[in-house]
Structure 1
Amino acid sequence: MSEGPINDANGRTASAKTYSSVRKVMGSDAEYNNMDRDPNNLNHHLQVMWDDVVGEPEGLHSMDSCWNCSRKTYDVSRTCCYGLLVILFGPLIALINGCNFACLSFGQVWCVGPCYRLFKINMATVRRFWETCLMATWSPLIMVMGLIFSNIKIRNQRLNDGEDKEPEDHFAV
């Protein structure tokens, strides 16, 4: 990219270096794709097209003119209502969401992260103390149990391949 002046989308002139820096700060170094507004498929579950919402089963078909009129009415009303809601509430909700995520990020960076690090540092001391106590109290007991069980001898023996005899039922009367 050249260092000469360039025009942005609003016709303002800025150097390429400044323009690139501003784009990086604003969240993306790549050009924004205005057609693909959900590149990460966040709303793949939201299916609101006519064919996704309304369907007539075999044997129950309305008149074609009624079906086409209903489809056009649905599409126009959905588009207009969505557009109106976005115009009225979109910027306000975007502002609220931006502030919420800014507060969340601030809390994570300046409060939760340092508190978690402080907790880990303090718990390392508690862990060393607890390990020492366990080693002093349980280690001798475990060593004795190990010595006791180390004297157990296990012998494998092949069983007789004869006929299985019925187990005696000592409780049968």
Structure 2
Amino acid sequence: MDIHLELLNESDFNTIVNWINHRDQDFMVQWSGLTYTFPLTVEQMQSHYHKGINSLDSDVFIYKIVEITSNEMIGSLQLCRFDSMKKEAVICRFIIGDSSRRGSGIGTLALKKAVQIGFTQFGLKQIRLNVFDINNTAIRCYERVGFKKGKMTENAYTSSQGVQWSNLEMILDKEIWEKNVPVSE
């Protein structure tokens, strides 16, 4: 399956809300941390992005993951929290919406494309992300793209089942990425 990233519009918020609300609160926390309350609403998202989206002034670029053949939005991710002094940003709120498409490599491909945008278009030197330690599938995806495990914050969240989740920061430096990116990209 071939995909591309394109900037998301606020009119796409409803699709994300539907993806999240087909799951549960714990899934939403994995996706967004404690930013929202479950069930997610378009109004919560609009309030959170009160400065707008897709500009440096808003400090967030939201990309939809689009399957090229069908032109269908199948996921989304964000590049945000830009630090112009350190030349770094954070990837967050990464989701493949249709669970039947997870595990097919789409996430890895989308992340590679987002990293490329960060390093080439925005001139970043480092990209970070956060993931809960219980999300082994996501961690493997991030490692395939070149992210390395960094600081662990123990017991950052208690799930609805009473399980303690630790937050893992993962980091990718531009120099590492440049050494490993295939020439064809």
Range into which the TM-score falls when normalised by the shorter chain: under 0.3
Larger Rg: 1
Greater RCO between the two (CA within 8 Å, min separation 6)?
2
Greater helix content = 1
TM-score (norm 1): 0.18
TM-score normalised over the length of structure 2: 0.18
